[in-house]
Amino acid sequence: MDCLFCKIVNKDIPSFKIYEDNIVLALLDINPKSNGHTLIIPKKHFTDFTELDSETLLHINMVAKNIVTLLEQKLNATGFCINTNYLDTQDIKHYHLHIVPVSKSKIKDVEEIYNIIKK
C-alpha cells in the first residue's frame, strides 16, 4: 500500500510521535495550522470515518481527550478545533483526527513544539 500514514505507522517514515498504543498513533502535523496541531491515526488502515468500527472510534476519541489535556498543560492552549478527514476533503486517504489548538502565539518549528510537549 502506498499510504503515507501506513508508512509512518510501520516506521518507514519518521514522525514527531507524542502518543502510541496498539490501536493508534498520535503525531504532530508537519504543516501545522497552530502550535501543537496533532493528528491521531489508527494503525489499521481505514479510508475515512464511514469505515471505522465502533471500538476504534471510541478509542480514538478517548485518546483525543488525553491529547487535549496534554496540549492544554504544555502549550497553554485556550481551545481546540477537532475535525476528521472525510471522502475528498483530505489528500491522505487514511482516517485521521485533527486536533488544532487555538492559540495567538506565532507558529514555531515542529521540533521545538515536540520538545516542549515531551518534557
| Catalytic one of 37, 59, 96, 98 | 96
Q: What is the pTM of this model?
A: 0.91
Q: Which homologous superfamily is 4-118 in?
A: HIT-like (3.30.428.10)
Residue 96 annotated in active site: yes
User: What cell numbers appear for 13 in the block?
Assistant: 517514515
pLDDT digits (tens, 9 = 90+) for 23-70: 999 999 999 999 999 999 999 999 888 899 999 999 999 999 999 999
User: Cβ distance 75 to 116 under 8 Å?
Assistant: yes
Which residues 6+ apart lie within 8 Å of 17 measured at CB?
Answer: 25, 26, 27
State the pLDDT confidence band at 104, using cuts at 50, 70 and 90.
confident
Output the pLDDT for position 30. Answer: 93
CA pair distance 119, 94, nearest whole angstrom: 30
User: What cell numbers appear for 24 in the block?
Assistant: 493508534
